[in-house]
Amino acid sequence: MRRQRRARLSPRPISQPWLNEAVSTAEWTGTPLANLLDEAGLAPGIVELVFTGADHGVEKGYEHDYARSLSVNDAKHPEVLLVYEMNGRPLEPQHGFPLRLIVPGWYGMTQVKWLSRIDAVSAGFDGYQPKFVMEALNSLNFEVWCEGSIVFAIGACENGV
């Protein structure tokens, strides 16, 4: 019921106002990212990996591809996967076919789907998604802090929402 209220809020909530399928459980099959990084090797000075999906859009007048980053340290956790199967079947388009990044601690909508590129960068990623999320949380007077690549936010609810 809570997600239906979110979809009907006025003004429209930031991001996607979904109605159904907001919660799910899946068994993922893929390759640990750490194995690929070890095999490929990273140049000295690389601090983050930027994962870019094929989804392209305009949000608040800013045209961009969906992208998120992980520190090299976080990317090497064995649970971080590049997945190609969900529940024993090849990924379907709506779940990120042909390849999706799964990062424990990131909620589903933030996982990079339709993965098209991985860039190794020597400076922190300053893309649209990280800036937008932090600005949105700060504008709501949430207490915000980061631990590795995970953003935590605590704030007061209004009217139980």
Topology given in CATH for the domain delimited by 26-123 = Sulfite Oxidase; Chain A, domain 2 (3.90.420)
Residue 4: pLDDT over 90: no
- pLDDT tens for 119-128 read 999 988 877 7
- pLDDT tens for 99-115 read 999 998 887 778 899 99
115 pairs with which residues across the strands? 53
Residue 161: pLDDT over 50: no
Is 77 buried (19+), middle (13-18) or exposed (0-12) by CB count in 10 A?
middle
Distance CA 67, CA 78 (A): 21
Residue 47: pLDDT over 60: yes
pTM, 2 dp: 0.72
Segments making up each domain of the chain, as ranges: 26-123
